[in-house]
Every structure is written in C-alpha cells, then in structure tokens.
Amino acid sequence: MHGESEKKEPVAEATTNNSDTASIEKTAGVAKIEGVTLAWSKVGLWTAWAGIMLLAVAVSLDSQTIYSYQPMATSTFGAHSLLATIGTVQNIMYAVTKPPVAKIADVFGRFEAFTFSVVLLTLGFILEAASQDIGTFAAAQIFYVAGQVGIQFMQQIFAADTTNLKWRALFNALPLAPFLFTTWCGAPIVERVLRDSTWRWGYGMYAIIIPACAIPLLISLGYHQHKASKAGVISNKDKNSALLRDPVALFSQLDILGLTLFTAGLTLVLLPMTLAARYPDKWASSHIIVMLVVGVICLIAFPIWEVYFAKTPILSLDLLKDRTVLGGCGVVFFAFCAFYIYQPYFYSYLVVVRGHSYKAATNIVLASSFASTASGLIIAFAVRYTGNYKWVVVAGICIKIIGGGLMFRYRDIDSSTAQLVMGQVIFGIGTGLLNVIQVGVQAAVKHRDVASVTALLATGYSVGGAVGDSISGGIWTNLLPQKLALHLPNSNATEIASIRDNFVVASSTYLMGSAERTGINRAYDEVMRIQLMVALILLFVPLGFIAITKDINLKEADENNDYGGVVIGNHGRTGRQHDEGVETKN
C-alpha cells in the first residue's frame, strides 16, 4: 500500500507448462495482431477503435434491455422460479466461453475471434425470439452468452493489444462508456416493446442490430490483417492452415477435453442447487446425487489434466503462481459471487414488493451499471496519472461493502425508493473502482500471456457469478414456497406454485394492499433479506485477497516494456519485452 517501503520485484516470470512449447513461441494469433500494429497507421488504429465503440453501443443496449424480458419469457413458459437456474447456466457459459475465445484469438487471430463471437450472438438472439418452451429458451442462452462474452472479452484483449499500461485502464473502461447513456434508453425501449409487441421482438431486433454494427470493426481488422500478411510482417502465418488440416492437433490446441471437464464440472455441481427443490426427494433425489458426484469428479480431474497432461491448457493455471494473479482472481470471484446472490430476483422484487412499473424497476436495476461505468471511467484517469492501481481496488471493495450494507438496511417495505437506489449507486461505484484490478493482473505477465491471464481473471468473474446465481436459486426455490405457505395460510399448493413460477401472477392478480398481496410481499421481502445478508458477508472476503497482490507501478512497468508498432501511448520503441523488474509496492 502507499506509504510502505518499496522494493524491486519482477513484473513477470516465465510461466509455461512443461509440455507447452506454444507458450514459449508466439502463437499465430499473437503474431497476427503484432503484425497488424506494425502495418496500420494511427488513422487505422483509431478507425478500429471507432468500430469497437459502435459495436460496444449495440452490445450495451442489448444488455440494458434483454434481462427485463427474461421474467416475461420464463413466466410465459410457467417457469419464473427457474430464473436463477437460467442465470446459473448463463454464468457457467460466461466462465467456459472466455478461455476458448482466448484460444481462438491466440491460435487463429483477433479478427477470427471477433467474427466467431458476432455469429454466435446473432444466432442466440434468433433462437431466443423463436423459442416455444423453456428448454429451447434456456438452450438459446448458450449461444447468446457465448457471443456476448466473446465480443466483450475481445474488446478487453484488443485494448491490451493496442495500448500501453498507463492508458490501459482507460481503454479497458472505454467500451463500457455507452452504458452512461444506454442505461437510460433501456427502460423506454423495454416499455415500448412490451406495449407495441412482445418480449420476442425485444430479442429478435438485435439479430439485425448486432451484425450491422459489427461490420466497420470487422472490415478494419480484416483489411489491416490482410495488409500485414501481404507485407510479410506476420510470422507463423502458416500454422493455422496446418492446424485445420490436422484435427487431432486442433483438438489438442483448443484443449477440448479440458473445456469439457471444466464445463461439466461447473454445470453438474452448481445446477443442483437451483433444481433440488423441484424434486420430491430434494437433495436425496438420485438425479441430484449423481449430478453432484460426477460434477465433483470432473472438477477434481480438470486441474490435474490442465497442469500435468494438457499440451496447451484452456486455462493457464500456472499463472496463479504469481500472487498478483491469484489475488486478482480471488477478489473478482467473491465480489461477483456476492452480487449475483441477490441480483437474479431483484427486478422481480421491485415489481412485486415495491409495486414499481417495468420501466421504473429497470431503471433502478440499471442504476448500479451506470454508477459502475461512470466511476470506472473517472478512476481510469487517476490511475493513468498516479501509476498505481492497488489503492483503487481497496477503495472499491470498501465502497461495495458500504453499498451492500445500505441495500440490506433499506430493502424493507417501509424504506423509500431513493434509499434503495442510493445503495445501488454506491455499490456500482465500488464495482467501477474494483474493475481496475484487470490492469494490475495484466501488468504481472508477459504480452504472450495477456489473453491467457485475462481469460483466467474473467473466469474468476464468471465462476463467482455462477456460484452466486446457484446460491441465489437455492435460497429462493427452497425458502420462497415455505414463506408463501406461512404468510398465505388459506392458499393451496397449486396457488403457491403459481405465485412461485410466475411473478406476473404475483404482481397483477393480487391487488396491492390486499391480504394476499401483503403475504406475498412479506414472503418476497424475507427471502430477499437473507440473500442480501449472505452477499454482504461475502463482500468482506476480497480484502484478504487484495492484500497479497503486488502494487505494480504502471509507469515504471511501461519504461521496461517496449511496444512494437502503433499502439496508444507508444513512445516509438519497437519490439516487445516484458522481462525486466519494475518498482512495486507490497
């Protein structure tokens, strides 16, 4: 921390798998983007960033609206109580998508990874809009999340490829800048779509918008990649065609077995927490037991395979030997686990218990995203000029704890909406500061490992979110029926199941102030109180993880890190090096 004695520590050490020669040599994808930075001018660089921002606006707008359609869609299929299950599936996909996207970006190229992600996202919107049952709708989330995560993840990789460390915090935050205005566009769009059409068009229109907005970026990247190839500045360019001709080598390079173990392990361990309450025997059900046993076996086998057998691991777990990487992953895991414990049912809580319109509830939920984006952009300038990131993350964790405490305090029915929003805003400010951890983690490794370490950190975010979602679903599906039975003694099991599975029934069928609605509100309120309490406790854990990270000075790191080609903040040096020690603070 600031004020403590300084000492020299290496920014990065070689962190290679003993069987992984690919981690020593540049992969074709890394060679391509370094060739592109040599081939384009500053105009080409800024044109590409204009394309990034246009796509960011479209993805941001989609993020601000589609989650408001989920309660509608699940209620249409009589499955509102499965919101957390769908959220768990989404967060599992958030976790398992980033490593293969990083692989595609490193093995094939940034242009190829962006294109792949746009295609998946578009397909996801088409399937969501056309779904006729909860199974199809849930399956569509796989394509939707894979595409959206791929685009957002590649934006971060692109920022790392095209900036130096001092400017990276700002350009990491820049693709999130559209949230500053799309936050307030989301609610009117949702209201208009639901008034004039259905939730299906809310999904379907993005199948047109996303591909159209991706065209400028893809043209810019594709053109400059082709230009660099013709100029002969891309090395290793023949490796891709060799991989495509050898399915076994491609299977190994993409670590399909590792990805399968990781996906199966997360899915089979986390989903039972949200599904157990729906089985007659609950946790004693043979289906639940088998899922848990197989899932645990997969999760045990995964790190063993990755460390000792995988030639090119899907997750570079060796990077966790660096305490900054380990600490960063721990911080984001617990911070996002806490957030997703209360988030899945917060919108429903606002509509049912608070009686807010869909538009008002959407605005309240999005207040946290707005505050996160604004604080992230502002603090990025501070990091740019101070050069230190650790104090920002510590402040972010503390602010999130304050925000979580306020939400817990003011979540009861008698508190005002302004008090609840204040907690959301403060919580969001903390998130914006905490996200600076990514720059510190990237500064701790070499350029060839930037995509891998970013994927590792992003996996920490997503696995934390998946665990939080599963805890949320476990609390909601197990406790809400009990609370409804307690506060609605005259209702039968069918009525309670209807209220549990369709929040529209809870908010529309029973008038505010009636005995039934009062009972429903009390049940929702008591369950939300438990979720917020668990979340608040978990928010203290990241303080321990941030304590073990190095306080790398980004200015001094840049002095020892030469950037090849045209990148933002480049001082004209050529060649990439990241082996020198830099000044750090513990």
Quick check: is 361 in a domain? yes
With respect to residue 299, please indicate whether it lies within any of the assigned structural domains: no
What is residue 279's predicted lDDT score, i.e. its pLDDT? Answer: 64
Q: Give the pLDDT confidence score for residue 246 in this predicted structure.
A: 63
Let me know if residue 268 belongs to a domain: no
In a domain, residue 287? The reply is no
Number of CB atoms found within 10 A of residue 377's CB: 18
pLDDT value of position 46: 81
Q: Give the contacts of 263 (CB within 8 A, at least 6 positions apart).
A: 92, 96
Domain of residue 359: give its range.
23-255+311-585
Which residues, 6 or more positions from 537, have their beta carbon under 8 angstroms from its beta carbon? none
- For the chain, give the longest Cα–Cα distance: 78
Structure tokens at 389: 């990131």
How many angstroms separate the CA atoms of 458 and 449, rounded?
Answer: 14
For helices 83-107 and 42-76, angle between their N-to-C axes, nearest 10 degrees: 150
Contact 199, 76 (CB under 8 A): yes
Residue in this structure with the two tokens 């899932």, named with its chain if needed? 295
Phi, psi of 7 (to 5 degrees): -155, 160
CATH number of the domain bearing residue 455 = 1.20.1250.20
- What tens digit of pLDDT does each residue of 282-307 get? 677 787 788 889 989 998 998 898 88
Residue 196 has a pLDDT of: 79
Predicted confidence at residue 119, as pLDDT, reads 92
8 A C-beta contact, residue 169 and residue 380: yes
Tell me the residue type at 501.
D
Residue ranges of the chain with pLDDT lower than 50?
1-24, 566, 571-586
Residue from 79, 65, 197, 261 nearest 144 by CA: 65
Q: Look up tokens 């190829």; give the residue.
A: 112
In this predicted structure, what is the pLDDT of residue 368? Answer: 86
**Does residue 6 lie in a domain region?**
no
- Give the distance, in angstroms, between the CA of residue 62 and the centroid of all CA atoms in the same chain: 15
Number of domains making up the chain: 1
Looking at residue 22, its pLDDT comes to: 38
Strand partners, 10: 581
pLDDT of residue 396: 92
pLDDT of residue 402: 94
Q: What is the DSSP letter of 322?
A: S
Sheet holding 551-552, edge to edge: 6-10, 581-585, 551-552
Q: What is the pLDDT of residues 304-356, one digit of tens each?
A: 988 888 887 777 777 788 888 889 999 999 998 999 888 888 888 888 888 88
14 inside domain: no
Q: What is the pLDDT of residue 580?
A: 36
Residue 550 φ/ψ, nearest 5 degrees: -85, 145
Which residues are paired to 568 by β-bridges? 163
Confirm if 39 and 231 have CB atoms less than 8 A apart: yes
Look up residue 568 and give its DSSP letter: B
> Phi and psi at residue 163, in whole multiples of 5°?
-140, 160
Distant-in-sequence, close-in-space partners of 100: CB < 8 Å, separation ≥ 6: 254, 259, 314
> Residue 285: inside a domain, yes or no?
no
